[in-house]
Structure formats: C-alpha cells, structure tokens
Amino acid sequence: MKTDNTRHAIPGDAPIIRLEKVTKRFGHTIAVNAVDLSVMPKEKVVIIGPSGSGKSTLLRAINILEEIDEGAIVFEGRQVGYVEKKGRRALDTPKNVCALRAEIGMVFQHFHLFPHMTVCENIMEGPMTVQGKSREEAHIIAVDMLKKVGLLDKQGVYPATLSGGQKQRVAIARALAMKPKIMLFDEPTSALDPELVGEVFNTIKGLADEGMTMIIVTHQMGFAREIADRVIFMESGQFVTEAPPKEFFGACMKHPRVASFVDSIL
C-alpha cells in the first residue's frame, strides 16, 4: 500500500534522499533486501517492525556506517558514499564520508557521549573537528543547541550526572550542531525508562514542527501517530506496507502481520 509522500513538501521538490535497491548482507543473511525509499524535504518517515527486520541496518547504511553490497544512495541529487574503482564499488574518501555524515545527522539508542567531556564540550567537538569552527564559534553553536533541547543549565556538567532522557537530548543537540539537512533516529527512546520517553519525544516533535526532515526507527507508536507523514512496516529486510498514519492504523491493520506486530507492542 503506497502513499503520497509530499504532504509537507513544496510542489515540484525532488527527494532530499533516495535509496535505490539498497542491499546489505551479513554473510549469507540478507539484512536489507533491495529497498527503495524516497524522502521529500520536511517529510517525517517512521519505520516500524520486529527486531531483526533490518530497520537499524538500513539507517546505518544511509549514514555509511554499514557498507552496502548493492544499490545506490542519492542525496540531494548526487550519488554519495561510494565511488567506482577499477569497475568495483569502493567507499568514498574518509573526508567525503565525514562531510556527508555532517549533513545526515544520526542519533542512536545508546547516546555515545564522550564521558570525559562536559555536555557543552560534547556538542562543540563536531563543529570544531569536522567543520573547522573556532572554539568560540563552536561554543555559541553548542549554547544555541542546548537552548533548543532545554538543557542550557547542564552545559558544564559531565554525562555521568545526567538522566537517560537528558543524555539523549544532549545527543540530539550534538547532531543538530552540525546543521544537518536530515536527521536519522535509531530507536531514540528504547534505552530509556518509560517515564523519560516523553521528554525525548517532545524534543523530536519540536524538531518535526520546525520542518526537519526525519527518518525514525522506533517501537513507539506515538511517534508514528503524532509525528509521521508516512509509516512503513519492515520485515525480513523489506518494506511490507506503507501509508499515512491514519490509513496505516486503519486499513493497513487488515494486513495480518502488521496487525499482530502492532498488537504485540501496544
């Protein structure tokens, strides 16, 4: 079941990112199987599905954290991540891959903050190391991002003193500091206690309301219902069905596999 995925895009816009038959194998296991996906500017796509269905691997492939075996990733109209050398696919240069990751921000389920750096220093690191910003410029950016996620009062503390929800909001601020054009969220609340999910959800919803393009992998149906323009159900490395939230949680629930999955997590 397909859908119009241009609800929040300007008519005539091209996709900001497009996947063409992206395939990733681990040995004899096909984790992502010839996936096609186009995401329009400002669109919010939520991918759900059982564990091991290939959702996280797909996000990591988009961010070039997993090397794909077949297919292409097209970002802003240009093929990225790989070059052809002697007739074979090879990873692009580390410099180009690093630059791409600055434009395609990613937030993981396990924060990955540097424990020996303060909250502010964690956020400053990317702009200084990758973008060559001065310490003063990076500090201004970090303060702005901490204001955005509601944690300005935590700028001088170390990650060990933060709650899980606060750590994840710092991780979001760190990704935003690079001024990405699209954000990837890989199970951003799965490592949190239930009472902390709301603060991260509200932070992501705020970004959605500001028009950030997003792909979110999650088991939280609240993300799908309230944020998504399009919900995709993925299983065995493939997209099974997709639709706007109202249709997904309506007509698509007639699909027995979708219905059983949603029922299992609600």
pLDDT confidence tier of residue 192, bands split at 50, 70 and 90: confident
Quote the pLDDT of residue 164. 92
Higher pLDDT pick, 13 / 118:
118
Quote the pLDDT of residue 11. 42
pLDDT confidence tier of residue 33, bands split at 50, 70 and 90: very high
**Percent of the chain predicted with pLDDT > 90:** 76
Specify which residues 19 forms β-bridges with: 37, 73
Specify which residues 238 forms β-bridges with: 235
pLDDT confidence tier of residue 155, bands split at 50, 70 and 90: very high
Q: How far is CA 244 from CA 42, 50, 74, 75, 92, in A?
A: 15, 20, 24, 23, 35
At 12, which amino acid appears? Answer: G
Structure token pair of residue 102: 């600055």
Q: Give mean pLDDT, residues 206-215.
A: 95
- Predicted TM-score (pTM) of the model is 0.90
- pLDDT score of 63 more than 90: yes
Cα three-residue angle 161-162-168, rounded to 5 degrees: 150
CA proximity to 62, closest of 28, 29, 15, 27: 15
User: Domain 17-112+182-265's class?
Assistant: alpha beta
**Strand, helix or coil at 150?**
coil
pLDDT confidence tier of residue 67, bands split at 50, 70 and 90: very high
Summary mean pLDDT of the chain: 91
Rounded Cα distance between 191 and 84, Å, is: 39
Quote the pLDDT of residue 1. 43
- pLDDT score of 6 more than 70: no
**Percent of the chain predicted with pLDDT > 70:** 95
Rounded Cα distance between 240 and 143, Å, is: 42
